[in-house]
Structure 1
């Protein structure tokens, strides 16, 4: 059994963890967790999270929200087990929202789809503003957003509904 599977330093794994988590996801989650656990104590508290997220342009408000939503034991910090459990659920919601925006089902969100999504939410957005927003998330310069780009950018968003995700996206833009 790979190291770290089935138990944690400070918490109990959710029972479904062992059966459902592919090894590459486990590694990805552990890497993200280690980046956020700045003092290396095996737990992420609001100080760790605020400092780490500030580096990627995420406001302290979102760090506090993320911590509150992922801290299932209400201990004031999160263990790797809590982090993985929360992030897996959050990624399922992100996948759902991504699918909703990807109208032509090509696995990418393009400018037209983005502008249409804003219109559906009653938000008027011109082409240049939408392009700037898309470019913040678009890591490969394709002018489209893959699910991985979407997931990685919105990982710390405390919301799961589309309007909340877009507010977070817009807000992280402004604060960068």
Structure 2
């Protein structure tokens, strides 16, 4: 089965598109293929027609309810995970172990920003919110404040001066 898309022009020049669910079959051996119209779905909303088309094209396709806006706000993920893993393998994050968990996570976020898309400390907060890092690091919106970064950096500097 498939979606058959047909269009025609009216006398005033407007283009009219119709959508139908159809199936192809051969009426007998050696005969030409035929198309049978099963349903006209022109009046359905276009997003629904597209979902039906997807389901008809792929036998193993299915639609998960509730995911309408899920991919509209996707976040940068791959490069962040790769750098987190690399930093851990190289022991880069050990220098930050003198800090509390939240402070360490914030400064790692700033470092990731400097490597991937260098910005100011305030700009790094804006950048971080558009990535998957806050979710990966379990940081809340209240944690992502520039003053928290400054406090974490001050704490690290005091420790390095010792």
TM-score exceeds 0.5: no
More helix by share: 1
What TM-score comes out, normalization by structure 2 length? 0.26
Pick the structure with greater CA Rg: 2
More strand by share: 2
What TM-score comes out, normalization by structure 1 length? 0.25
